[in-house]
Structure 1
Amino acid sequence: MRWETLHPDVLMFVGEDHQSVATAFIDGDDALLIDSLGSLEDARQLRRVLCGQLDKTVRVLAATHFMSDHTAGMSLFPEALTLAHRHYRHAFLSQNQPQAALYREPRAVFDGAMTLRWGRHQLRFEPNPGKTLDHLYVDVPSADLVCVGDNIVGRIVYLSKADPAMIRAAIQRVRGLGRGTVIGGHIGRFPAEALDHAIHYLDRLRETVIGLRADAIAVDQRIAAIAIETCLAPGVEPVAFEREWHRRNLQVVIAQSVFALDAALSASEVGA
C-alpha cells in the first residue's frame, strides 16, 4: 500500500489489491474515511499508518459503493459510524464474486443528498448511480476534489453489468462540479480532464461496437480484438491497469451483448 498527502488534512491511500483507493479527511485526532481498500491486508496497513503512525481514530467510514474491493476495512474500525446508500445490498449482490467475509452492515443508510462538516471541510454526499445503483460522489469544494468511486477507472470506465448510458450520465454530473482533482475508486487521483477522457473512451467503444454489429461479420472476434488505443482520447497513454480493464470490457460486451440495443436503434434510424 502507498499513501500520499493531498492537503495537510487530506490523505489518499492506494492498496496493492486492485489498486483500490481510500481517502481520509482529518479533524484533529479524528478521521473520516471514504472507502477502505480491497483486501484485509491493505486495510490493516492503512490502519497501521492512520491509527498507529499518525495516531488518528476513524470515527466515520463511508462507501462510494458497496463492493468488496472497496469495503475491506469496515470490520477493522468497529468504533466508526459506517455510511452507505440505501441500495448497498443491490450493489454487493451484483458483484461477480461477492466476498461475504468482507461484508458489514452499514449503521446508517441514506438515499438523498447529505452534507457533513468535518474539520475545515464540508463534504457533500450526492447519489450518482452509474456503475452501480448505490454509487455516490463525495464533493469537497474546500479541497477542490471529488471522490467518484468506480464511475471512472483511470481514464476509462468499466462496464461490468451496468447500463453504459447511466455511467456516462454519472460522469457528466461530476464534470458539472468543476473540481480540479478527481479521486477514482482505483489507481489514485487524476486531474479533471480524466472525466473527459473516460467519456471519450466510452463513446468511442460504443461507436466501434455499433459499427462492428452493423457489419455482422465475425462480430465477437472483431470486438475481442478492439485495441484500447482506438478508444482513448488523443495523447492518453494507457497504464497496465487500464489495459486489463479494457480487456475485461470487451469480454463483457460480448457476453452481455452490450450496445446491441444501440446498434438496433441506429439501424432503425438509418432505415427510416
Structure 2
Amino acid sequence: MNNETLRYETLAPDVLMFVGRDHQSVATAFLDGDDALLVDSLGSIEDARSLQRVLCGEMGRTVRAVAATHFMSDHIAGMCLFPDALTIAHRHYRHTFLSQNRRVDGFYRDPQLLFDTGMSLRWGRHRLRFVHNPGKTMDHVCVDVPDADLVCVGDAIVGNIVYLSRADPELIRNAIGRIRQFGRGRVVGGHVGQFPAAVLDNAIHYLDRLRERVMLIRTGTTRVPIAERIAAIPIDDCLAPSVEATAFERQWHRHNLEVILAQSIFELDAAVTEVAA
C-alpha cells in the first residue's frame, strides 16, 4: 500500500514493513497489541513522519521501542520522533555514526539499551534475536525472527548486490554467510524491501564476481588505465544467473566502482596474488 511517499505492506498479522522514498530505506514494525517496536526508522524526517502518521495516527499504535540495525543516518531518522520510546543499538554505534559519509547530526539520539554479541527480546508472539553481525559497519546487527520466518539484515545486502562503502569486502561476505545459517525464508533488507532467501546467494555472487573482475584488471597488463577499466565494469557481468538489475541496484553498483577506485579496494588481494604467483 502507498501513503503519499511511503509504501508499506503486511509481512504477518503483527509485522509491517515500511519503505520510504529517501534511499528506499526500510523500517519493520513488530506489534504487540497496540504497542510497536521498530527495527530501523527510515532515512528522512519526511518519511519518518509519514510512518508515524500511518502507524500511530491511522492504525492507533504506540511506538515503545526503536532498534537500529546500524547507526547510519539513513536508518535512524525516526528515533527523534518517538521521544518516549526505548532506543536500542549495538555498543559500537558511535563508531558507525561518526565514520559515515552522509551524517545528519539532527537524527542522532543516544541509545538507552546497548548490547554486545547479542540479546533476545520477547515482543508479542515473536522472539526477536538481535545478533551482532559486523560487515558493512562494525556495529551491524541482524534481527532474526524465527516465528515469522524472516530476518532483518540492514545493509548486509542492497537488493541482489552489496554496497562496499568503507567496509572490508571479506567482512561483508562473512556477514551474509552468517545470515544464511539462520535458514529463514524471507530477508528484509535495509533498503528496497523484502526478498526470498535466494537474495543472499545473489549478493555473494555479485561480490565474488566483482572482486574477480577487479583482480583481473589490477593484475593484468594493458595500455588502458586501470581506473578507466574498473569504472567500466558492467553490473550485468557480476549478477547471478537470471537476476536482472533494478535501477536502484545499478545506481549502487556505480557507487561501488567509485569506492573501489577511491579506496583501492581489492588492491591488497591483487598484490598478495602476485606475490604468491
Amino acid at match of 2:119: M
Distance in 1 (CA, whole Å) between partners of 2:121 and 2:92 is 20
Question: How far does the alpha carbon of each residue in 1:131-173 deviate from its partner, in whole angstroms, 9 at most, with x for none?
Answer: 0000010000000000000010000000000000000000000
SS of residue matched to 2:243:
coil
Find 1:145's aligned residue among 146, 150, 153. Answer: 150
Aligned counterpart, 2:270: 263
Aligned counterpart, 1:22: 27
Aligned counterpart, 1:226: 233
Find 1:245's aligned residue among 252, 264, 271. Answer: 252
TM-score, normalised with respect to structure 1:
0.98
**1:88 and 2:93 aligned:** yes
Which residues of 2 match residues 51-130 of structure 1 at below 5 A? 51-130=56-135
Report how far residue 216 of structure 1 moved: 4.5
Distance in 2 (CA, whole Å) between partners of 1:106 and 1:59 is 13
Find 1:158's aligned residue among 163, 167, 183. Answer: 163
**1:47 and 2:47 aligned:** no
Amino acid at match of 1:18: H
- Equivalenced residue count is 270
Report how far residue 97 of structure 1 moved: 2.1
Amino acid at match of 1:73: G
Distance in 2 (CA, whole Å) between partners of 1:203 and 1:94 is 26
Q: Which runs of 5+ in 1 are unaligned?
A: none
Question: How far does the alpha carbon of each residue in 1:210-249 deviate from its partner, in whole angstroms, 9 at most, with x for none?
Answer: 0000114311100000000000001000001100000000
Identity fraction in percent: 67
Report how far residue 269 of structure 1 moved: 1.7
Question: How far does the alpha carbon of each residue in 1:93-143 deviate from its partner, in whole angstroms, 9 at most, with x for none?
Answer: 111121111111111111121000011100000000000000010000000
Distance in 2 (CA, whole Å) between partners of 1:120 and 1:99 is 35
SS of residue matched to 2:182:
coil
Amino acid at match of 1:185: G
TM-score, normalised with respect to structure 2:
0.97
Q: Which runs of 5+ in 2 are unaligned?
A: 1-5
**1:191 and 2:196 aligned:** yes
SS of residue matched to 1:250:
helix
